[in-house]
Amino acid sequence: MRFVLTAVLLIGLTGLVPVFPRPALADSASERAEINRNVNEALANLYKTVPGSREMQKKAAGVLVFPSIYKAGFVVGGQYGKGALRIRGKSVGYYSTAGASFGFLAGAEKRSMALMFMTSEALQQFRRSSGWDVGGDASVTLVEVGANGTVDASRFNKPVVAFIYGNSGLMADVSLRGTKVSKLDLPAASASGTSVPKKTQ
Q: Among 18-22, 52-56, 79-83, 116-120, which stretch is predicted with the lowest mean pLDDT? A: 18-22
- Better-scored residue on pLDDT, 173 or 35: 35
pLDDT tens, residue by residue, 123-167: 999 999 988 999 888 889 888 776 666 676 666 678 999 999 999
Rounded to two decimals, the pTM is 0.75
The domain segmentation of the chain, as residue ranges, is 25-183
Decide: 81 and 70 in contact? Cβ < 8 Å.
yes
Which DSSP symbol is given to 159? S
- Of 15, 126, 34, whose CA–CA distance to 83 is shortest? 34
Rg (CA), the chain: 21
pLDDT tens, residue by residue, 44-68: 999 999 998 999 999 999 999 999 9
